[in-house]
A = this chain, B = another copy of it.
Amino acid sequence: MASWQQYLQDNRARFLNDYLDLLRIPSISALPEHAGDVRRAAEWVARRLEAAGLEDVRVMETGGHPVVYGEWIHAPGKPTVLIYGHFDVQPVDPLDLWSSPPFEPAIRDGRVYARGASDNKGNFVLAIFAVEALLRGEGRLPLNVKFLLEGQEEIGSPQLPAFIAEHKDLLACDLVISTDGANWGEDQPSVSVGTRGLCALQIDVRGADSDLHSGLYGGTIQNPIHGLGRLLDSMRGPDGKILVDGFYDSVTPLSPEEKENLARIPFDEGTYARSLGAPGTFGEPGFTTLERAWARPTLEINGIWGGFQGEGPKTVLPNEAHAKISCRLVPDQDPEEIIERIRGHVERNAPPGVQVTVRAFPGSARPYVVPRDLPALRAAQEVLSEVYGKEPYFVRTGGTVPVLALFLTHLGAHTITVAFGVEDERFHAPDEFFRLKNFDRGQRGYARLLDRLGGE
């Protein structure tokens, strides 16, 4: 028997090799030709869970890419945590922008370069190593642990909602720890306490039967592009405020405490805009850029098209125009309700002389926010402060992680996201990397977190 700290130190080289092994599997979930590799990754993960001492380990079918489950539930009276992560990765194109091949992990300057190095392989393996260190080193875990590792996160987890709903008993837990996140900086931890929801739709505007000669007919009937432009412009004021009736009604305002937490995070408007190549920041008045990014809903046109798009002029009066819109939602906005509000707005504001239809896209997601008094949040804060020597920022993410709301709905469990990568590690881009400094820190962090949640 050894302390988990000793065990981690003794097995450092082996764990690093295991991590590099996993990175060599090109488990790209978006590309059908890599479906076998996603399954290979699932089997690798299953074997690794078994090696760590987990029980009832299985590769389970979803109808799409598989998930891997494993558990150790021999701590009666102690809480049960479900550790979530994903072993699939994003595609790698453009390949020529990589400094080394994406599935041949290369260590340079204390960093591991490979697709998935940080998102999410580099994070969830650390939790497996931490569990192994506790279990093999000290002979037992301080609480009950289940793993749910999936293979389709990068394509939006299409089969996961049904899978979770159908396996409520197997996955039953008191808390979810998601490893799918990142910290604010190399030495600045952060805890994400919320993600935005999502809904999306398309607006189609139709005029005449076919494109018309703008000389012969221009001025006599409505131009669908003008009609669509009018409609879209009516949805959002020039200042960025969304004008759809009731759009903000269900938004829970930020508490003074959270506003204060966000204001504490160093943020420079100019640096931010320059990093994106934009002339400046812009958005709903009365809120800071971070507040708008994380805690305010959006209505963005994702695409628009109609008429002639080629070189030079073409004097056509087009007969169709289309726009795609998506909204990021914050608690307690409901995606279906927002779609209906937009539909109502379009009906009330439909321009004359054209026909307008609204089609909602499937795949909407509810926003999620961790209750600020959740004891596990306090535990995460303390552990991160300990391993980084610095208080974490409480942040949110503007993106959407549908699984968080699903865990709450189906398992009744809240999720804390604790990860050890950093936001700048080029997720989804060429030369994705992970800092080896956090490879060790992460294993210690997850072990401490489990200890702390088990009541030490």
Contact = CB atoms under 8 A, between A and B. Distances in A.
Interface of A: 196, 198, 200, 202, 207-210, 212-223, 225-226, 229-230, 232-233, 236, 238, 240, 272-273, 276-284, 289, 292-293, 296-298, 300-309, 312-319, 321-324, 326, 328, 351-355, 361, 363, 397-400
A354 B229 contact: no
Contact of A314 (B277, B302, B319, B399): B302
Contacts of A354: 278-279
Given A233-B229, A301-B307, A304-B321, A280 B218 contact: no
Contacts of A280: 221, 352-353
Contact of A353 (B281, B302, B303, B399): B281
17 contacts: A209-B277, A214-B298, A214-B300, A215-B397, A215-B399, A216-B399, A217-B293, A218-B328, A219-B283, A219-B398, A277-B319, A280-B353, A282-B353, A303-B307, A305-B306, A305-B309, A313-B326
Nearest to A242: B219
Interface centre among A225, A272, A302, A326 (most CB of B within 10 A): A302
| Copies of chain A in the complex | 2
A238 B349 CA distance: 10
Q: Which of A217, A218, A308, A316 has the most CB of B within 10 A?
A: A218
A407 to B, nearest CB: 19
B307 A324 contact: yes
B226 A278 contact: no
A398 to B, nearest CB: 5
Contact of A276 (B221, B282, B312): B221
Contacts of A219: 240, 283-284, 292-293, 296-298, 300, 328, 398
A137 to B, nearest CB: 39
B326 A302 contact: no
B221 A226 contact: no
A221 B282 contact: yes
Contacts of A309: 303, 305, 322
A281 B208 CA distance: 10
Nearest to A423: B216
Contacts of A218: 293, 298, 300, 328, 398
Most chain B CB within 10 A, of A213, A283, A297, A363, is at A283
Contact of A328 (B215, B233, B304, B324): B215
Contact of A200 (B222, B233, B313, B400): B313
A200 B273 CA distance: 33
Contacts of A400: 215, 315
Given A215-B399, A216-B397, A305-B305, 7 more contacts: A196-B215, A208-B277, A222-B283, A229-B232, A302-B314, A309-B322, A313-B361
Contacts of A284: 219
A416 B385 CA distance: 88
A399 B213 contact: yes
Contact of A277 (B210, B229, B240, B321): B210
Contacts of A222: 240, 278, 282-283
Q: Which of A219, A303, A321, A324 has the most CB of B within 10 A?
A: A219
B305 A304 contact: yes
Shortest beta-carbon contacts, A-B, top 7: A209-B277, A215-B399, A282-B353, A303-B307, A303-B308, A200-B313, A233-B233
Contacts of A282: 220-222, 352-353
A435 B277 CA distance: 62
Contacts of A307: 301-304, 324
Nearest to A272: B220
B303 A304 contact: no
A131 to B, nearest CB: 31
Residue with the highest number of chain B CB atoms closer than 10 Å, among A208, A221, A273: A221
A351 B278 CA distance: 13
